[in-house]
Chains A and B, each alone.
Chain A
Amino acid sequence: MRTEPRTILNFLSTYFDIIKELFDIQVKDGLVRMEVLNEVLAEHDHDILNKLIEYKFFKKIQNDYEIRPVYFKMLEFILSEFKPLLPETIEKYEHSITALFKKIKEGISKDRNILLQRITDLNNEVRDFTEAVEKNTIRLISETKELKSNVDKIDYREKVRKASFWIDYYITPLNSILDVGNKNSITNRLLDISEYINVRRLNFEDELARQQFEKLYSFLAQTNDDLLKQSKTLTNELLPLIERIRSESMILTGWIEFLKNPSKSEVPFVPKSLRAYPYNNSMYFNALEYVNEYMTNVEIYLEDPAMSASDKWIFNKDVYMTKLTQELPVKNFFEWAGKTLKSEYKEIETEKFFSLSTLLFEDSIELEFDPTADRQVIRTSEMNLRVPKIKIKRHGLS
């Protein structure tokens, strides 16, 4: 007795979880083994094997089962989980399409019914071909995106292996099948057919055949658009994406190798900041000022104060550097140096002042000054110094 179609669809819907699981098993193993089937049914606690056979969902192969192609294709379609076809499998359509087209041309003025049947067959072949291409593109996009998002956190070697596999066996050959620039591509063959059909749909004497040509022509036009879209997706999206994975892998390999011994490897050298030391054009006047100050020769007798070694002041660069760093940014370095010495020793001794000035040559600070600005006078214990205003920044900080 023939089962009601609605009953079958309801059955598929009710037990869809089991159906999906069986589909996944067949995708993976090529068929559903008896023991695996029993496990699945036991797990869901539904004994539906009889129904699966009654509704012709399963075909028995010795002791195991296989989902019948019609159900399998439907599940592939509704789940968008297509098994990719090898490009050579897709390429077979080129032969069948070419053969049918040749026959149509040869028999154009012979038996009308055969001609109509051939046009319908050509239509079907072209449709199967575009569907196969579309399925492959969908599958390739999903595979590539999965590789890219890398939710399974597979390592690079595996990622590249997969990427190379998809490129070498699917994407590149499929692209060449669809490439309009390739004279032998199926796309170009379809364009030739389309051109031929275009003439016939307008001037063929038989009305019905003309209508069939017209239908085939519109279908081919649509197909060409679709194929162009698929080809663009492959070229613009998938290839760069996968190339990127390859390139990333290369970079990562480079870094890992480099990090094994970074001090021994040559690196891309960028020059370090150069500090320029040109002579200032006010040098003459500066020198003159010093000379004038010491022009008058007054004899001075200094009595060496009794000083033990421990009394001698030793410049502790680190202490002052830390102090300076803590107070960054400093607007006027020499003023800061003067104040620091005054707060510690009540007066600014020239020697100490000069010692502090050496901090200016430390690399970790950055100087900024306006050479045209007015100088300021700092009065030390022995002399008056005219010094520029120097702003101090820590590297990169203002």
Chain B
Amino acid sequence: MDFPRYHKDIVSDLLDGKFILATDAKFIELKNSADFYGKFFKETFEFYLDIKSDYAYLISEETMEMLSRDICIFLGLLCYELDKEGKNFLEEIQYAEFEYDYIDSLLDNSSYIDLIQNNNQLKNSEARRQFFGTLNRRNIIDRSSSDKRFTFTPAYKVFMDFAKNFAKGKLNAAEAEAIEE
């Protein structure tokens, strides 16, 4: 049986929790063999492969996965704080370059300080640096060579979709409650 080109890298990257971005040569190969990889990950690991127009990643149903939760908390806080500063956060996240110091100042002055201090990945500047390292390895952010700044890759959209669906879920629940009353 012939395997697609970059097969080993595709599998190991995705299993490492990395997002494969459209700018990566592996992405096209993965997209061309979408059916094969979809079945492969489902049958072998019970993971679901999600290929969007500009990134691909694996979804697991493991409920103890803490990193996704920490990423959601981080992005939620970032959007909230950027909005508080009067910025269009979607545009900022899509195009802007963030300095670590700026993120520190946003989080350290946040009204969510209790949540931040109780989160091992976000509690202080050093922990955040490690967290950014993790996000970088997973291709969720792209660190600058000086390691002082980063930009988000299109992978951020997964989490924005999550927030949108979360809001819809909440709104639907509120509506259902109102109807019941």
Q: Which A positions have Cβ atoms within 8 angstroms of B?
A: 148, 150-151, 153, 156, 244, 247-248, 250-259, 262-263, 265-274, 364, 394-397
Contacts and interface: CB of A to CB of B under 8 A. Distances in A.
A239 to B, nearest CB: 16
B60 interface: yes
**Which of A252, A270, A272 has the most C-beta atoms of chain B within 10 angstroms of its own C-beta?**
A270
Interface of B: 14-17, 45, 47, 57-63, 65, 67-69, 72-73, 75-77, 79-80, 83, 86, 88-90, 112, 115, 130, 132-134, 136-138, 158-168, 170-171
Contacts of A265: 166
Contacts of A269: 59-63, 65, 68
B170 A253 contact: yes
B115 A259 contact: yes
Given A252-B80, A255-B79, A153 B58 contact: no
Contacts of B57: 270
Given A263-B69, A268-B158, A272-B17, A258 B166 contact: yes
A274 to B, nearest CB: 5
A272 B70 CA distance: 13
Given A268-B68, A269-B59, A397-B133, A255 B163 contact: yes
Given A258-B72, A269-B62, A270-B68, A252 B83 contact: yes
Nearest to B155: A270
Contacts of A272: 17, 62, 65, 67
A391 B177 CA distance: 57
Contacts of A267: 65, 68-69, 72, 162
A19 B130 CA distance: 61
B180 to A, nearest CB: 20
B74 to A, nearest CB: 10
A91 B62 CA distance: 58
A329 to B, nearest CB: 13
A397 B164 CA distance: 33
Nearest to B73: A262
B62 A252 contact: no
Contacts of B159: 268
Given A262-B72, A267-B69, A272-B17, A254 B133 contact: no
A266 B65 CA distance: 10
B109 to A, nearest CB: 16
A97 to B, nearest CB: 40
